[in-house]
Amino acid sequence: MHIKKLIGLFILSLALVNCKEESIQITQTQIIPIPNSIELSDSFFTIDENTGVTYDDNLKVSAQFLKNFIETGSQITLKQGNAIQFLIDETLEPEAYKLTVSKKEIKIEASTDQGAFYAVQTLRQLMPVGLENGAFSENEILIQAVVINDKPQFSYRGMHLDVARHMFSVEFIKKYIDALAMLKLNTFHWHLTDDQGWRIEIKKYTKLQEVAAYRDETLVGHYSDRLHQFDGKRYGGYYTQEEVKDIVQYAKERFVTVIPEIEMPGHAQAAIAAYPELGCSDQPVEVAKKWGVFEEIYCPNQKTFAFLEDVLDEVLELFPSKYIHIGGDEAPKTRWKNCEHCQALIKEEGLKDEHHLQSYFITKMEKYLNSKGRQIIGWDEILEGGLAPNATVMSWRGTSGAVEAAKSGHNVIMTPTSHCYFDYYQSENDDEPLAIGGFLPLEKVYGFNPIPEELTENERQYVLGAQGNIWTEYIPTEKHLEYMAFPRMLALSEVVWSQPERKNYKDFVSRLENFHQRLDALKMNYANHLYDIEYETERINDEVYFKLDSNLSEDKIIRLELNGSEPDYESRVYTEPILIDKSMEVKAAVYKFNSKEKLGRTFTQNINYHKAVGAKITINKQPYKAYSGSGAQGLINGISGSDSRYGDKEWLGFWGEDILIEIDFREELEINSIKTRFYNSNGQWIYAPEKILVAFDNNQYQEFNLANDELLINFEFNVANQRAKKVYIKVQNYGTIPEGKQGAGNKAWTFIDEIIIN
């Protein structure tokens, strides 16, 4: 029978002895993002040479998509006829659909072509993966009988792509858009201009193509590396207007709106390199060769406004989207402070300072775009100095910008770095390709709730949705980009599409495992960290236990060694938490039960037992929610944070606050040394403190100054035979980020690691 075709679509409990259709029991479908409601039945529909399709003319695009999917994926050609019907149901919401598969027909009902398109994407996931790449060679396709009612949670469901830092082929952009469409994402935010390159052809300004589109060379390695080295290779290019039109049209046929981003007033050094008169200093500058934030920003003068209006005129011709993204982020005000014209303009317009001048700049551009019938989106910095009247805010620095905007009645799109930055590391393994930093594993993306807690029921309506961002400073190739995008984009699709009560991470993981086959068929280079091992520590009665976990199911177990040796299929099986009462090196791996087959990578964790392990710790401030590691207790659990991922379970992050740490041993101990370390990644706004104070019991504080010249700053305090019951550590926040540095004017972060006491 047709069992083979069904495997991979469903988790089946099969009574193989009797291969009758009735004997197939489906326990679960595998659709991502998970629909609102699914009702499965026992029979199935067969698509073959005799199957016909009819459609309402208003549902033509989706009907054609389905026909094309089946005909290019298999040998089957569909006929005219009533077996598969596309019908209008005016009562359904614009993006909603109803899909009914029964033994005799398939019915797709929607009020719009877009809704019907999403029904087709669901139907696609009910069909064999071989159809994705033409590998399906049989003459009938079986589809499980089912009734699915579905609609999105949010109206804005986006993915962003930065093509300025690195550029990707037109063909690849289409592949990216295909993936969005498959996952029911409806917006592609195309970041087209930045300091390192201008990537869209503007016919009126030829030097954008000749100069701004190319940089002489590119930074090698990480920005935080002490010595900056360059590759010596010219890099660049741009999308011609013909290519842009082609992409916009391609996206439209898949119900993806392309929103272009033209950055202003900051991230504009490439344009200023081509036309120095657009800057304040009139000095020649070059297209940026390294990453970061640059001081060369547009000068708010007549030339600039005329230039931007001309550029936008051409952009509007190419992009029919309601929204145009005007950037607005990370614009250092250094040049404006020292510019006579800017200072005169501030006076003339009665503005308070340079932030209000930025707001004046954005408002002026907003008016221009509004007059052409368009709306602006800007990064949350556009709130500073007053928000342009009709602007939508894209909230990336935490969620406070979103809250402020929604409370004042502005629409917001959520893209916080903590949950939406797919340029961040996704695993703690040392073999990950170099990334900008951060740590955003799949489960964290999946757990994202786009609605900030601070909003009232009524204010929630201003949250249009969320978006994953892919900045490409450290992503030079298409394969690498796919690796960063998948599977996190799948998790995001469920965040923005599915109803919160339908979400369940364990269930998502099992559907994802199945989805791997589809990604394989699509030749997607996705990351797979499903059988990586995660740990947790727990303090019970003044003792600390070490626990391991993975995405385990009945047939998967963890095997481990505690002495640093490599686990194999004979190593002991992990069954209960391990007491930390000495230093050890834990190595573990997920194995198939009763088998030699190792499923994931080997996990390694060094545990450094010291005098504070098991003690009680309190901190007078809560760490920032997204960077709260294993909580305060994690600072004395015997485990140090990663050298490269401050977002892991061990680092604690505090934003702009001084903190006081108290460690209580409960009995007097002899103390000889106190050690800890601080993260100091200034590009990410993280600064080691300049000053630390330490006291024992009721004694006076002793003060220490710290250097801040490396990525990791060690603090070490040696005392001879100090006896104490308690240790107090005061950590002073660095303060405001100085001018000229990335994030200037914002509060600095403090990230502190394990406090090792011996």
Q: Point out the residues that are catalytic.
A: 194, 267, 330
Calpha distance 240→238 (Å, rounded)? 6
Asked if residue 269 lies in contact with residue 212, where contact means CB atoms within 8 angstroms, the answer is no
Cα 449 from Cα 495, distance rounded (Å) = 7
Burial of 564 (0-12, 13-18, 19+ CB in 10 A): exposed
As a whole number of Å, the CA-based R_g of the chain is 28
- What the block records as the tokens of 626 is 């997204």
Binding site for ligand TNX (CB under 6 A): 329-330, 379, 396, 421, 423, 436, 471, 473
Task: Give whichever of 336 and 379 is closer to ligand TNX, judged by the CB atom.
Answer: 379
Return the amino acid letter for 51: T
The Cα–Cα gap between 387 and 328 comes to: 11
CB of residue 392 to ligand TNX, shortest distance in Å:
14
Using the structure block, give the residue that is written with the tokens 């406090």: 755
Q: What is the DSSP letter of 750?
A: E
The residue (of 255 and 396) whose beta carbon lies closer to ligand TNX is: 396
Give residue for tokens 């068929």. 521
Cα 351 from chain centroid (whole Å): 37
Q: How far is CA 403 from the centre of its chain?
A: 20
Q: Measuring CA to CA, which residue among 581, 663, 659 is closest to residue 616?
A: 663
β-bridge pairing 616-619 and 219-220: unpaired
Which is nearer to ligand TNX, 415 or 551 (by Cβ)? 415
Q: Which is nearer to ligand TNX, 380 or 561 (CB)?
A: 380
CB of 325 to ligand TNX, least distance (A): 10
Specify the 3-state DSSP secondary structure of 696.
strand
Q: Are 752 and 729 a contacting pair, CB within 8 Å?
A: no
User: Min. distance of Cβ 743 from ligand TNX in angstroms?
Assistant: 9
Min. distance of Cβ 683 from ligand TNX in angstroms? 9
| Nearest to ligand TNX of 459, 473 (CB atom) | 473
Rank residues 393 and 671 by Cβ distance to ligand TNX and give the closer one. 393
* Least distance (Å) between residue 218 CB and ligand TNX: 14
Closest Cα to residue 269, out of 374, 196, 202?
196
Cβ count near 90 (within 10 Å): 7
CB-nearer residue toward ligand TNX: 223 or 715: 223
CB 496, min distance to ligand TNX, A: 19
Cβ 298 to ligand TNX, closest distance in Å?
16
Please state the closest distance from residue 578 (CB atom) to ligand TNX, in A: 37
Q: How many CB atoms lie within 10 A of CB 728?
A: 17
Q: Nearest 5°: phi and psi at 126?
A: -95, 0
Name the residue type at position 511: R
Q: Which two tokens stand for residue 422?
A: 């797919």
Q: Judged by CB, which is closer to ligand TNX: 269, or 733?
A: 269
HEC assignment per residue over 61-128: HHHHHHHHHHHHHCCCCCEECCCEEEEECCCCCCCCEEEEECCCCEEEEECCHHHHHHHHHHHHHCCC
Q: Which residues neighbour 53 within 8 Å (Cβ) at sequence distance 6 or greater?
A: 63, 66, 67, 78, 79, 80, 81, 83, 84, 85, 86
Residue nearest to ligand TNX (CB): 471
Q: CA 451 to CA 461: how far, in whole Å?
A: 9
Distance CA 60, CA 56 (A): 7
Say if residues 88 and 58 touch (Cβ distance below 8 Å).
yes
**Closest to ligand TNX by CB, 396 or 651:** 396
Cβ proximity to ligand TNX, 292 vs 577, nearer residue: 292
Q: Which two tokens stand for residue 356?
A: 């209000």
Extract the tokens encoding 232: 């010596």
Least distance to ligand TNX, CB of residue 412, Å: 14
Minimum distance, C-beta of residue 215 to ligand TNX, in the bound complex (Å): 15
